Amino acid sequence: MTGVRGARLLLLVATIPVLVVVVGGLGSVVLQSIGLMPLVGPASLSLGAYASIAQDAPTAIVTSLGVASASTVIAVVVGAAAALVVVSGGLLGRLVGALGAVTVSIPHLIGAATVGLLLADSGVLPRLLGIDADAWPSLVGGPWWIAVVSEYAWKESAFIALVVAGTLLTRVAQFDEPAAMLGASRVTRLRLVFLPLAMPSLIISATIVFIYTLGSYEVAWLLGRTYPEPLAVMAIRLFNDVSLSARAESAAIAVLTVAISLVVVAFASVAVRRTAVWR
């Protein structure tokens, strides 16, 4: 009992500063968005910031959700496949695990610059393939956000692979080996052993990737289009605007982003509770 109380006390000590920072920061953003914490002028309750962004916000939301969804789906598929290779062991598994660890350690800003140099119309890839710049598709800054999705999918697939592999390495052997001894094929073991065991960590890591992609701005700012803007890029632009009144609009965009993230977390929590491992 003493050990449990000590663990709870340590958890409380670590949780309180996080709650103070998160709740305090989020509270100040909400107050600023409704005019109760203005940088200039008297404080007065107002929804003017939300009215100001009402025209551009729907397009920004659709753009952000599209980029985040595409990046997350690709990252989940590639990451799950990589995790399966890592769990299988051998030289290839160790190599994939090492590449994943290296990829995770690369900052997104450097990853964006690398993808830009690789996929631009005058970049490394068209030169290696001998394709003229005029004939190369507009992957960087193009209409489909291909470079942005590629960078997020590349980086976050490594994160998902390491999370899922770390979860499976302690569990899969005790179920996979008996299933193989009972005559289950690889496809059957993949469907009945690997996927059910990996599903909770897949859902949680995919949720983290989606929310991070939704709130990240540097990759979309460097590799994406100037219009329409994702939510994060729009918030940063308004925050750095010369007019201080735009800070409230930036805060309103941030509140919308947090609200969408909370909805995604709620759906993910329900999905995790419905997995076979949780039940």
- Residue keyed to tokens 């200039």: 40
pLDDT of 193 reads 73
pLDDT of 89 reads 78
Q: What domain count does the chain have?
A: 1
Q: Which carries the bigger pLDDT value, residue 57 or residue 13?
A: 57
**Rounded to an integer, what distance in angstroms lies between the CA atom of residue 279 and that of residue 277?**
6
CA 82 to chain centre: 18
pLDDT of 9 reads 77
Exposed, middle or buried: residue 65 (CB in 10 Å: 0-12, 13-18, 19+)?
A: middle
Domain assignment present for 5: no
Q: Kindly report the average pLDDT of the chain as a whole number.
A: 87
pLDDT tens by residue, 106-154: 999 999 999 999 999 888 999 998 888 888 999 998 888 999 999 999 9
Query: 35: phi > 0 → left, psi -120 to 50 → alpha, else beta; which?
Result: left
pLDDT tens by residue, 194-237: 888 889 999 999 999 999 999 999 999 999 998 899 999 999 99
**Rounded to an integer, what distance in angstroms lies between the CA atom of residue 79 and that of residue 160?**
5
Q: Which carries the bigger pLDDT value, residue 76 or residue 242?
A: 76
Closest of 109, 215, 202 to residue 162, by C-alpha: 202
Domain assignment present for 124: yes
Please, are residues 277 and 200 in contact by the beta-carbon 8 Å criterion? yes
Domain residues for the domain of 138 are 56-273
Residues contacting 245, CB < 8 A, separation 6+: 40
Domain assignment present for 63: yes
pLDDT of 174 reads 62
pLDDT of 245 reads 79
pLDDT of 163 reads 92
Domain assignment present for 107: yes
Token pair belonging to 271:
């999905």
**Out of 56-65, 150-159, 175-184, which region has the weakest mean confidence (pLDDT)?**
175-184
Domain assignment present for 1: no
pLDDT of 17 reads 82
Mean pLDDT of all residues in 86-109: 90
**Interior CA angle at 140 toward 160 and 215, to 5°?**
45
Domain assignment present for 23: no
Closest of 232, 256, 216 to residue 33, by C-alpha: 256
Residues contacting 48, CB < 8 A, separation 6+: 35, 248
Domain assignment present for 42: no
pLDDT tens by residue, 41-81: 788 898 999 999 999 999 999 999 999 999 999 999 999 99
pLDDT of 256 reads 96
Using 50, 70 and 90 to split pLDDT, how confident is the model at 3? low
Domain assignment present for 22: no
CATH code of the domain containing 101:
1.10.3720.10
